[in-house]
Amino acid sequence: MRLGGPASEYEVVHTTEHLVALIREADAAGKPVLVMGGGSNLVVGDQGFEGLVVQVATSGLNIHEEGVTVEAGVEWDTVVATSLAAGLAGLEPLSGIPGSTGGTPVQNVGAYGTLTSDLLTCLTVYDRATGTVEQWTPDRCGFGSHRQSIFKHTDRYVVLDVTLQLARSTRSRPIHYAGLAGRLDIAPGATAPTREVRDAVLALRRRSGMILDADDHDTWSVGSFFINPVLSSVPDKARDCPQYPDPAGTKLSAAWLIDRAGFPRGYGHDWCRGTVALSSKHALAVTNRGNATTAEVMKFADHIREGVEQRFDIRLGPECDLVNCKFG
């Protein structure tokens, strides 16, 4: 989001061994540690972070016969492009997502009908509580409900690498997401060449402002600021909202709730100093229009959240990670 204060210490690590050793040393000294990849999902307070910020820049990427093992610091879209170039299918719906590989199981990153958990076979995790490096299977990750995992909203675990099971093919898996199928001019449930799927996904993400562009303030965001709420029961006021089944109940569209609460795409240009607004392309993206402060972002997000709650009796939560900042 191009905002937030400084780190008192900042170190970039290029090997897994250095990463683990650095965190162990800081933990033993009682020093606060923030581990980050590309920072694409972080909102950092104006006061910054009083402690050690570790940026993970590990770079290992190993192609298998039907899969790939990737260290946490590798840019995610590099993984997608490299896998497709090697003749492996499965990741193409996840093209163009910013951030690094280590963040994908944390958020259980998903798009256009594909989730990280659909493809993950194992991962290596450093447990800061026990000081051990462990091999995990996906059943330990707490996947299930939308965008949830055991890693989210805790700093106990550090993902070191992931292994993904892919198919040796130049055609995609069946595409059930209607918008993507329409873009490809195929029937929902049909397949398409993986290269064409990647191109279509990138075009759709670009249209919604979800491809990073330094000259486009609509992309100065963390993507979806608010998570789609999952409720055990849907309030009567929200009965017309698009609804999707979820293991924890019913998932609702946060974008629909925001828009219908009176906050359409582009809302906020006249709000406060005009430095924060919703993207003109995507109602879920809170954007920095230039020279915004984190305090302004959080005040604006509070404003949106309170409006949705007043209209629908639903309180939205963050999709992003908040560091030294919070809702009011």
* Residues forming the active site: 147, 224, 319
Q: Measured between alpha carbons, how far is residue 139 from residues 92, 104, 105, 324, 326 in Å?
A: 24, 16, 12, 31, 31
Which of these, 258, 262, 257, lies nearest to 242 by C-alpha position? 257
Whole-angstrom distance, CA of residue 297 vs CA of residue 3:
9
- Type of residue numbered 70: V
Do the beta carbons of residue 162 and residue 101 sit within 8 Å? yes
Per-position DSSP letters for 293-325, written without gaps between them: -HHHHHHHHHHHHHHHHHHHS----BSSEEES-
Whole-angstrom distance, CA of residue 137 vs CA of residue 76:
20
